[in-house]
Structure 1
Amino acid sequence: MVDLYNFLYSWQLFPEKGTYEFGRRPKSGNYKMQWRTESNSLSIAINWVTLEDQAFTSEYSVPGDGLFHTLEDNPLANKIKLSIINSLTFEVIFAQDELESLRIRHEIMPSSLLKITQSNLLDPEKILTNTEIYHKQFSVLPYASSASGAVVKQNEEGLIRHKALTAMEEQTNMQLEQIRKQIELLALQAKEIVTRKELSMLIYESKLNFAPVIGQSYYLYETKENSHILSMIAPNEWGRKPMPYKSFVSMVKLLADHTWVEIKHQGDYSSSLTATGQ
């Protein structure tokens, strides 16, 4: 039916967004709606798991003609009616004889989430309300949410499935977390390699008056001509004569793969000299 097109999906419960005044609070849930063309009726299937790890299912169909129809095997109601308000709102009404016992309002919110409001009308002086929020579930999982007014049956198979899915989710989340940490480590290592490469390119483009030895440390300076030179003399080893270069850049070390790594930056080296009184 065109009027219900926006609802004909499988919806996954946001358990933390719900408020409950009656019944058992679910910790997971699925709400599936389908239109049966052959019977001109709306089919609703609900699965949910309680906080106590009890799994339940509920299924019912309601004709789309807007009239009350007989509902069998339900201790709370013997009649049911579908009331379509507009393309974004409809209600399913359960009644015991002529008195409404449960009204379930379905609304598509501006955020495209599904809001289901269940109003328990058994006591007109104290109407109890449950509100649930769902999002579209494009890959259907076989466990789910809270009940409506149809017959509720405990489902051992659903509980087993839920426990298996919970274990699977914990394991895959743990594996994904390990992969995430590995990716972060690889990204850090890649950044370090890029830094070493850039420093190495700078040094190999600098003036070298000697053959560097692997594992030894040297000193990189910027010349007055804005080029660079590698020296074996530290900034504090020039004695009384002024340093012949524009500035000291960093202390560097040649690694076995012929890349260079920075040992001390200019600021770090200056701080260490100050601390030692040099």
Structure 2
Amino acid sequence: MAMKESKKPDAVVYDKDKQQYNAHILPYATGVGAPQITAPDVSSWKNTQVQTVNHEFKAQFNALKEQYAQMMESYDFNKRIYSSKFSFEPIIGETYFLYLDKQGSDFLSLIPPTQCRFEYLATCTIGPDKIWIKRD
């Protein structure tokens, strides 16, 4: 019959796998009189950090929304310019003027609004990436 393993008191730190007492190598106190180990309350820190992170995500989302709105405005403007009438090849960096003719069609011109009687719509230039940029 096998010998019954003796039960050690709870206050004794004994490693069953290594068959030795190991209180001296643990990084925390193990004696009955040792101070109680309590986990710090991090709920207020978590709440603060959650608010900070949520604020950051909201700011990034709003920035993306603003960037999207600007991109759509640029897209609509470029669509309008490219669908307007013009009979020249635009030069990068030159200033052009968008007008509305008497039939209600858009047209692009080199003539500034001070020298033209058509309804002025916008001043623009074309960039090296062939994207039209509204200047006013």
Task: Calculate the TM-score normalised by the size of structure 2.
Answer: 0.65
Code of the aligned partner of 1:228: D
In the superposition, relative to structure 1, how do residues 165 and 215 fare at CA in structure 2: closer, same or farther (>3 Å)?
farther
The structural deviation recorded for 1:157 is 4.5
Which entry has the higher C-alpha Rg, 1 or 2? Answer: 2
Runs of 4+ in 1 over 6 A off after TM superposition: none
For the pair 1:178 / 2:56, whether they are aligned, the reply is yes
Question: Among 202, 213, 223, which residue is 2:91 paired with?
Answer: 213
Looking at secondary structure, tell me which structure has more strand per residue. 1
> Is 2:106 aligned against 1:228?
yes
**Rounded Cα–Cα distance in structure 2 between residues aligned with 1:234 and 1:254:** 16
The amino acid of 1:174's aligned partner reads T
Structure 1 gap segments, 5+ residues each: 1-155, 265-278
Equivalent position of 2:47 in the other structure: 169
**Greater fraction of residues in helix:** 2
Pairwise CA RMSD: 1.9
Residue 215 of structure 1 aligns with an amino acid whose one-letter code is G
Q: State the Cα distance separating 1:233 from its structure 2 match.
A: 1.4
Question: What is the Cα deviation at residue 170 of structure 1?
Answer: 1.4
Structure 1 counterpart of 2:121: 249
Paired residues of 1:197 and 1:260 also in contact (CA < 8 A)? no
Please give the secondary structure, in 1, of the residue aligned with 2:121: strand
Q: Which amino acid aligns with 1:193?
A: M
Change over 3 Å in CA distance of 1:199–1:166 after alignment to 2: same
1:203 aligns with 2:81: yes
One-letter amino acid matched to 1:259: I
When normalised by structure 1's length, the TM-score is 0.34
Equivalent residue runs for 1:8-19 within 5 Å: none
Q: Distance in 2 between matches of 1:257 and 1:227?
A: 26
Aligned residues: 100
